[in-house]
Structure 1
Amino acid sequence: MNLVQRVQDILLRPKATWPQIEREPASVGSLYTEYLVVLAAISSICSFIGLSIVGVGMMGVQIRMPFVSGLVNMVVGFVLTLGAVYVLALIADALAPSFQGRRDPLAALKLVAYASTAGLLGGVFGILPALAPLGLLAALYSAYLLYLGLPVMMKCPPEKSLAYTAVLIVCGIVLGVVVGTVASLLMPGPRMGIAGAPAPGGNVTLNLPGGEVKIDTAKLEEAARRMEEAGRRAQQAQAAASDPAAAASAAGQAMGDVLAALGGGAAGSAIAPATLKGLLPATLGGLPQVSVETQGGQVAGFAGSAARARYEQGEQRIELSITDLGGVAGIAAAAFAAATVERETADRVERSYRQGARGIKEEAAKDGSHAEMTVLLANGVAVEARGERTDLAGLKRALEGLGLDRIEALKRPEKS
């Protein structure tokens, strides 16, 4: 399949393209590796560049998401978006009889995958946050693609397609909330709640025309683990290919292969938070450690971990974080490659560049009052330092003393 041609066809000639999609052979793995992964990666990388490189201008001040937080947000969003496509396909398949359609798990996945094209490509507007609202128009076009594809792929009567589409859109909104909430659970640093909902750890409530939908975020990780276990059991039992459980297992396996290929590591594994904590020195740049914390978790096959410490004496302060992005360093490295920056103003300098296998970002005030430095190591571990009353040269010396080669040599545990 020619990806560029397929994108053009589904966007410009959807009525003629859906019957072609319905006839052509496909598998869960091919739909992900040849199509969805590429589009989701483009969207995620553009969002990262917009939030962490370009920034959002507010009252003459450019606000950016911290670099490591942006990387983690990008990778987690990428993984969860791919998972959400599969979940929405399961829902579309389960609902088919309710709208006089025919159940077909693979057809449902093809439907959702190709209907998502406009929405995923709309993510390119995220490269300039001011244009991000245009992504909503792209999402609306995806809803139209879904409407056109339902009678072809799920064999529902055309008169039922509008109601079918409306239900799936509501389900997609709920999934979007779930993706945002789970992503925030794995974000390093202070946790932020999603707009219009409480912070993760409580219930998220959506007021929809049909009533309220509540999501218990505390149970999301447990639900993900159970889904993974069910998929493994189905695979071990060699269930029939038409069995939804076997299809779920195949999707999980394909996702694992994709993540491993992107990052060169084992999907579903991360360096233990305690190991990362042990890398935090008692003093850094001559400053004593005053606080330390760790974080780790796994959702939808993506595992991550982090350790953070603060070093302080008088007005001088350095905040250091070591974050393992799991087995998906490839997409983070691609973001660095796409986001090379050289920027200088009267009072600040900023650089983002590659140094061998490492990605490096530096930002500093020329008066030495503030400096930030992030190093993405070849093994997918990101080291970030932010200093107050510290210049960039001092921050570099502090990171050199940390032993980056030793951190880069760390291996993740093998996935059981």
Structure 2
Amino acid sequence: MPGWASAAVWVAVAIIAVSTTSYLTGLPELTASGTVQSAVRLGIPILLAALGGLWAERAGVINIGLEGMMILGTWGGAWAGYQWGPLAGLVAAAVFGAIGGLVHALATVTFGVNHIVSGVAINLLGAGTAIYLATLLFEPVSQNPRQSPPVPKFDTYSVQPLSGWLQELEDMQRVGLSDLAGILGGLVTGISPLTMLAYLLVPVSYLVLWRSPFGLRLRSCGENPKAAESLGVNVYLYKYSAVIMSGALAGLGGAALILSPGQPGYLENQTNGRGYIGLAAMIFGNWRPGGLLGGAALFGYSDGLQLRSGETTVHALLYTAALVLLAVVALQVWRRRWFSAGIAASVAAALYAVYWYTDELPEQLTAYTPHLVTLVVLAAAAQRLRPPAANGEQYRRGAG
């Protein structure tokens, strides 16, 4: 089965599982259009950070500094957005993130610093720089060193009359049909230009990286830089280009946090680990644009659900996960992989037991739902991952 067809099947399985859970538990919030809108809004920063990680790591540079580049993007976007409007904020966020990428490229590509060490340093540098600049420039205006003044936002749009029809169908509360209408309605209602840009960047990244000579050369730097060098590829140039682009995309992810509706502007610690979750979404997607889109959607949905609906609906996700694992069991039995089928069945039974014997999850646990989902998903996907062969290796021109 082609990769796109397999992905479509699993998306359908997930939608059916969530719809079934919504019906059996009496929780329409699981598929409500408002929940999906929140999931889209919260998933966009993760998606952009994941795309940033994809560009860098396809060129062979591990970019664990996505979090720091996002932080720089939040400050740059808030500063320029407050001064000149949301479009200027978007451009400034990309520029500030690209500066973080440039520093990371300088350390790893030119000076050969360990990629993980450099990434951690970028995270610390980004956070410290944002705090300093916020105290210097925002405090005189907002009277608060941890927060910017209100920043203008992009307008939002809805696809009419489709959005209205889907809302009417959702309100009817028909099993399955209203669930699908709620999911589709959330995708076509309250869309901002930044949302459209983020989704457009997914196929653009695929076309550039997999369907262009530039992308072929860039990916060759991540697979075998010495072979690429022998064919005349300027490995340093491509690595620099990829990491700077990675920082710009992460900066746009930071802009999504301050230019989205419902956010006043820059806040200290606003990213809350979304750069790391974006990195996890990229790994979950096996370093492919379509796969990381699915990872961002999963993490955005879990985040949006716990913010909108709280402990009860997050508790119902245990039921959903058990249903999805039953589909995994059926697939493994069909493939005659009895051990994998047994493991999946055991985990499904454990999740259902937790759901059956508890009424809700502790508030302290649901607050970290996206982070827990990240750990579980990465553990489940670890067996099928295939990173670029030379990812994280130090490269020296003419060596070896």
Q: TM-score normalized by structure 2? A: 0.25
Q: TM-score normalized by structure 1? A: 0.24
Of the two structures, which has the highest relative contact order with CA contacts closer than 8 Å and spacing of 6 or more? 2
